[in-house]
Amino acid sequence: METKDQKKHRKKNSGPKAEKKKKRHLQNLQLGDEEDARKRNPKAFAVQSAVRMARSFHRTQDLKTKKHHIPVVDRTPLEPPPIVVVVMGPPKVGKSTLIQCLIRNFTRQKLTEIRGPVTIVSGKKRRLTIIECGCDINTMIDLAKVADLVLMLIDAGFGFEMETFEFLNICQVHGFPKIMGVLTHLDSFKHNKQLKKTKKRLKHRFWTEVYPGAKLFYLSGMVHGEYQNQEIHNLGRFITVMKFRPLTWQTSHPYILADRMEDLTNPEDIRANVKCDRKVSLYGYLRGAHLKNKSQIHIPGVGDFAVSDVSFLPDPCALPEQQKKRGLNEKEKLVYAPLSGVGGVLYDKDAVYVDLGGSHGFQASDKVGPTHELVQSLISTHSTIDAKMSSSRVTLFSDSKPLGSEDIDNQGLWMPKEEKQVDMKTGRVRRKAIFGDKEDESGDSDDENDDEDDEISEGDRSENGSSGDETEEEEDAEMTDKEYMTIEGIKRRKLEELEEDSEVDLPAFADSDDDLERSSGEEGEAEEASESSEGEGSTAGGERAILESKAAGEGREAGLSSANHQIDHVNLEKSLLMKKAALTTSDSGHCTPEEAFASEDEPEESSSPSSEEEDSENEEVTWKNLPKPSQVGNSQKLDSENLIDETSDIEDLLKEEDYKEENYSTETSGALKWKEDLSRKAAEAFLRQQQVTPNLRKLIYGTVTEDNEEEDGDNREELGGLFRVSQPDRECKHKADSLDCSRFLVEAPHDWDLEEVMNSIRDCFVTGTWEEDKDAAKVLAEDGE
Ligand SMILES: Nc1nc2c(ncn2[C@@H]2O[C@H](COP(=O)(O)OP(=O)(O)OP(=O)(O)O)[C@@H](O)[C@H]2O)c(=O)[nH]1
């Protein structure tokens, strides 16, 4: 059969029909589908609820404003150094397990023993240096300085432990790094309800301690001694896409987290003298600013040194060279952990070592060297200085209650109460953090919705994580809870729940995953707040803290004995002194006259001194009203010290006491009587304060000047009961004009107007009679002869 070739249909490119089609197509492009639907069915898109409209508007505005930050100069180089991830937590919480799981998640390699920092390539543009932080305070201080991100592990089965708060307090000094909580041991809960309650309680406590909305991850249990792959994968993705806001201190100082150390000292020198100066080379990524050759450096725990040479080494854990769209291939997933013996090629100062592994690769040597001994001696110290300090007690007065560390205010750094609990299974002593608010502890009164919310967002997150692709990383960083929900198709329900939640539960969008922005915003605030403490002082702050504690530890006993001595000396006048001290403290603060009087009067209301016996009883009352020594500011301390020296003031004080007793009887007649005559009282308080302020001259020159002052005092005339007119007398004036008596001792001054006195120095000038051989006229005559 013959088949006839049919001509294909050709689209019209010109003419009226083609133009019509083009026009329609353009219109379709301009109006989106939704826009089209809005046009077709305006009623369905009309505002249904003004309240909901307002809420959604607020939410979008909130999200927008949260993104606004004070701009910071981003000095990170094109290929930034690895991000320092510090894994921190109390003992046996699962730190090593988590690090192992994370490394396996990123590199598919399993490290049996982890020592020191481990650097891994976690993404196309990101490397991580993961390091475990023990519970030793020095490690905490050192790592808080360099951390970009802190994974704070919390044993949910036990609750918060003191180590967590110690680390948080240290972070406050160094400018807060990003902090993410990780709950472990969640499998120890048998009942689901109890698990939910605990999760919620811990979450809220964590938010209180870090910032509202801080990310908290749940590791729900272990499979074959490791955390669940899915949960670790999610955590890993979160770390990989996380955005960091540079911390001022970190970006303005060069610093190195050394991951390898070689001792290059000649072994013969060490043999001859064990304490000889060593030559050491340290390896690590340089972070922050540029490090110059020969610059001064500080090695924490060792001291200050000058760098003899800095050199650039090839990157042992380099990022993949070409930027492809796909994720990393197996070859690119590098791991570098020289202290753990992993890393393939090692670049030494003058050699290159290739790690061959093998059966005898990393056998632990039994040889005990001097360094080993030193480390052993450090390890075998059972209690730290802080522990010793906290157990010591101070008794200021012979019959007063001893003050413990718990009575001393921590300079604004709040710490929860500590309770020691013994683990029945292991016999380990754990330091549980106890919070005062019972509501927080029980935390079960709220509705269950919130818990459900958590669970939902958890599940969503995990499923989203599994479907994640490396190419989406950047967008993922911006991903909000809303978007997670879209994937699951339950966006609308979730949003409604969130909106309802926002009214009950603060903060408003706490459950949303957009805390990437939130946290950076909060961090910004924290950073600003800590800005003042940053800068040069920030590192020193940590170190100083140790030094101070050491010094305090050493000097404590000596200080105490001298304090006791002084106190015994003035024991007799104790009650008087205390009353005066109470006055001083209320006066010297920045309080209004009313407050001053309220605080002054209160102790007196509670004590009605009429006889000496009663007085001694009231001592206790007054003493209790006194501030604790630690709470008294510097100036106040100075005042009370002066009190001890100035025994002469006691008489004044006695008079004052009498005056007050008189006042007291009138004041008891009405509760508000003390408010009367406030201006007079204020004036008197001012005078008292004037008298109490330390006289510097008296302190420096002692009693001699005191006498003079008293004389001066007689010459003063009081004006309006407030001011004194200073009338410098003639003697004073004379003193001012007189010769500097410290240099020349003038016993009987000459009267220079008298002729004889003037003649006495005539010889010093040309007018005087010269010696014969030096007289000019005579010498000339002799010359002529
Ligand atoms: N049941 C359970 N056991 C856990 C969990 N996390 C850790 N463990 C176990 O707790 C023990 C201690 O874990 P590690 O990872 O060694 O803890 P660590 O914090 O590194 O301990 P130190 O380095 O000694 O402070 C191990 O036996 C883990 O198997 C968890 O979530 N559930």
Whether residues 681 and 778 share a domain: the answer is no
User: Considering the domain boundaries, does residue 768 fall inside one?
Assistant: yes
Higher-pLDDT residue of 104, 578 = 104
- Whether 249 and 539 have beta carbons less than 8 Å apart is answered as yes
Which atom number of ligand 1 is nearest to the Cα of residue 89? 19
Rounded distance between C-alpha atoms, residue 714 and residue 727, angstroms = 10
Q: Which pLDDT belongs to residue 172?
A: 84
pLDDT greater than 90 at residue 85: yes
Q: Residue 296 falls within a domain, yes or no? A: no
pLDDT score at 354: 58
Q: Is 740 inside any structural domain?
A: no
**Are 479 and 574 contained in the same domain?**
no
Q: In this predicted structure, what is the pLDDT of residue 680?
A: 84
Q: Are residues 497 and 641 in the same domain?
A: no
Q: Which atom of ligand 1 is nearest to the CA of 97?
A: 15
State the total domains in the chain.
4
Same domain, 50 and 124: no
User: Do 219 and 98 reside in the same domain of the chain?
Assistant: yes
Phi, psi of 222 (to 5 degrees): -120, 145
358: left (phi over 0), alpha (psi -120 to 50) or beta: left
| Predicted pLDDT at 524 | 38
Determine which residue's CA is closest to atom 12 belonging to ligand 1.
92
The answer to whether residues 567 and 708 belong to one domain is yes
Can you give the residue range of the structural domain that contains 776? Answer: 750-785
pLDDT tens for 40-68 read: 888 888 888 899 999 999 999 998 888 88
Amino acid letter for position 432: K
Q: Residue 463 domain-assigned?
A: yes
Quote the CA–CA distance of 578 and 399 in Å, as a whole number: 14
Looking from the CA of residue 186, the nearest atom of ligand 1 is 31
Question: Mind listing the pLDDT tens digit for each residue in 622-638?
Answer: 333 333 433 333 333 33
Q: Which amino acid is at 484?
A: Y
Q: Which residue has the higher pLDDT, 647 or 126?
A: 126
Query: DSSP letter at 708?
Result: H
Confidence of residue 586 (pLDDT cuts 50, 70, 90): very low
What does the pLDDT read at residue 531?
A: 36
Centre of ligand 1 from the C-alpha of residue 89, in Å:
11
Give the pLDDT confidence score for residue 58 in this predicted structure.
94
| pLDDT exceeds cutoff 60 at 108 | yes
Instruction: Please indicate, yes or no, whether residues 494 and 607 belong to a single structural domain of this protein.
Output: no
The answer as to whether 5 is a domain residue is no
Mean pLDDT of the chain, nearest integer = 66
255 versus 223: which is more confidently predicted?
A: 255
Residue nearest atom 32 of ligand 1, based on CA coordinates: 185
What number is the ipTM of this complex? 0.97
* Residue 418 φ/ψ, nearest 5 degrees: -110, 140
**Final residue in a domain of this structure, among 66, 97, 124:** 66
Q: Is the pTM of this model over 0.90?
A: no
For the domain that residue 222 is a member of, what is the CATH number? 3.40.50.300
User: Which residues are CB-neighbours of 650 under 8 A, at least 6 positions away?
Assistant: 573, 576, 577
**Pocket of ligand 1, beta carbon within 6 A:** 89, 91-97, 184-185, 187, 219, 221-222, 225
Q: How far is the CA of 93 from the centre of ligand 1 (A)?
A: 5
Looking at the domain assignment, is residue 369 inside a domain? no
Of the candidates 66, 94, 124, which is a domain's last residue?
66
Same domain, 621 and 577: yes
Q: What are the DSSP calls for 479-546, one per residue?
A: --HHHHHHHHT-HHHHHHHHHHHHHHSSSTTTTSSTHHHHHHHHHHHHHHHHHTT-THHHHHHHHHHH
b/e string for 330-344 if b means 16 or more Cβ within 10 A? Answer: eebbbbbbbbbebbe
In terms of pLDDT, which residue wins out, 198 or 410?
Answer: 198
- Which residue has 């007018």 as its token pair? 767
Beta bridge partners of 128: 83, 120
The reply to whether 547 falls in a domain is no
pLDDT at residue 708 tops 70:
no
Whether residue 690 sits in one domain with residue 754: no
Residue 14 in domain? no
Rounded to the nearest angstrom, the distance between the alpha carbon of 330 and the centre of ligand 1 is 29
Domain identity same for 104 and 241: yes
The answer to whether residue 292 scores a pLDDT higher than 60 is yes
Residue nearest to atom 29 of ligand 1 (CA): 225
Q: What is the mean pLDDT of residues 16-40?
A: 76
Ligand 1 atom at minimum distance from 188 CA: 1
Angle at 558 between CA 552 and CA 563, to 5 degrees: 100
pLDDT at 460: 38
